[in-house]
Structure 1
Amino acid sequence: MKVAPDPRAVRDASLDELDRLGLPLPPPAFPLVWEPGDGVALRATGEIEARAAVLHVVVARCFGMPTETAMSWLLGSHLVDFVTPPEWQFVAGGKGDHRSFVLHHDAVFALAWLLGLSRHLDPTVPPEERLMQQMPDLPGGESFSEWRSRSLVAPRDAIEAAVLLDLYYCLDWAFQEAGRVGGWLPGEVDANAIGQRRWGLEWAVVFSGPYHEAPPGWEEVDLSV
């Protein structure tokens, strides 16, 4: 656990970036993500890898991966315990909002960035085309352990991740506000993609301090603020 950077200085930089992108700025009372003196860390690398792999399978199911193949891969990779109930209902029975699960591709992009598998998390461009090559080769039968051996992850520094989380926290508000008023967006990415990337960052970046509770589960991440 490291000491998190000055949240106000980080917020000023985030607002400068929103202004550069031509996006609306959140109100002055918009909450900080952390407080001065808080600690910051990333979840365990293996946990982030598991979450990315599970979401990769969920997205693959959206694009035609057979139920039996998906369930067999998760069982063989010992990842069933990392699958949330809504994800399991979708993978096993096709139940749930198909469109919302497709959007998880951008959450995978955020997790891949945290693992050092993606070079950037630019809010104006879609996920890198090479992202699919960086994830487990499901059609080729690559196992979770084989993927981990091949990928050679290099997790980002927790402070770097916290700074980007603050930016995406502000971007999430700005993109939704731009959509509400019919404003212009600075690129090929929409508010749904920004929200998914924030979801991945919110889940993976862990803070400690008097105002922070235990790290939430994937489905418990609060994106309402």
Structure 2
Amino acid sequence: MNRLGLPLPPAEYPLVWEPGDEVELRSTSELEARTAVLHLIMARCFGMTPDTAMSWLLASHLVETVTPPEWEFVTAGKGDHRSFVLHHDALFALCWVLGLTRQLDPTAPSDQRLLGVLPNLTAGETFVDWRSRILAAPRDPAEVAALLDFHYCLDWGYLEAERLGAPLPGLIDANAIGQRRWALEWAVVFRGPYHDPPGGWEEVDLST
């Protein structure tokens, strides 16, 4: 945080986990399904028709993984279009978790080369075919948890810097950091006496 020139969270800022907690990732199939769905939503944001999107979901057997707000957007274009576009950075973070990109730089935009490792929707590449092509190798849970902890603090620092009108350290803003944190929060599962069972994508709490 100091290296980036961002404000530090206050001493009473709550911890992401407690000593003794165990950490793991959601299953690879869950991570891949969420990545594919977010990629489809990006395609809907930029012109894919509802019929094409629905046909792909049905062929890929991913209908049940789409959340209610996502369903409204995919099928009828309802909802906050801008908020769905922002999921681009959540998608980037999930690709990092799956080992599809080398780094998640908090000062840089997402790697545009990722398009080549995501499902080729225009060619009709199904979810099953995509999984066979990429052969994902998810990162070690401890590594992902460490990056979650970093983004937990970055989220506060970016928001505080924007509130104060201070310069940001790179080319992205607090929205991008928040989206990356959202994806990491969802991907990491903590086991311990102070943690509830892992919730759904829409249940991720970014209020602290």
In 2: Cα distance, 1:106 partner to 1:133 partner: 16
In the other structure, the counterpart of 2:125 is 142
Structure 2 unmatched runs, 5+ = none
Aligned residue-pair number: 208
The equivalent position to 1:60 in structure 2, one of 40, 43, 57, is: 43
Distance 1:124 1:185 in 2: 8
Residue 118 of structure 1: which of 101, 114, 126 is its match? 101
1:98 matched to which residue of 2?
81
Which residue in the other structure is 2:134 paired with?
151
2:164 aligned partner: 181
Q: CA RMSD in A?
A: 0.5
Distance in structure 1 (CA, Å) of the matches to 2:96 and 2:23? 17
Point out 4+ residue stretches in structure 1 off by more than 4 angstroms. Answer: none
Distance (Å, rounded) in 1 between the aligned partners of 2:14 and 2:115: 35
Q: Which residue of 2 aligns with 1:213?
A: 196
Render the CA deviation track for 1:74-102: whole Å, top value 9, x for unaligned: 11100011000000000000000000000
Structure 2 residue 21 is the aligned partner of structure 1 residue 38? yes
Q: For residue 218 of structure 1, what is the amino acid of its counterpart? A: W
Which structure 1 segments of 5+ residues have no match? 1-17
Q: Give the TM-score normalised by the residue count of structure 1.
A: 0.92
2:145 to 134, 159, 162: 162
Shift of residue 196, structure 1, vs aligned partner: 0.4
Q: Which amino acid aligns with 1:222?
A: D
So what's the TM-score if we normalise by structure 2? 0.99
* Deviation of 1:176 (Å): 0.5
C-alpha distance in 2 between matches for 1:51 and 1:94: 19
Question: 1:222 aligned to 2:194?
Answer: no
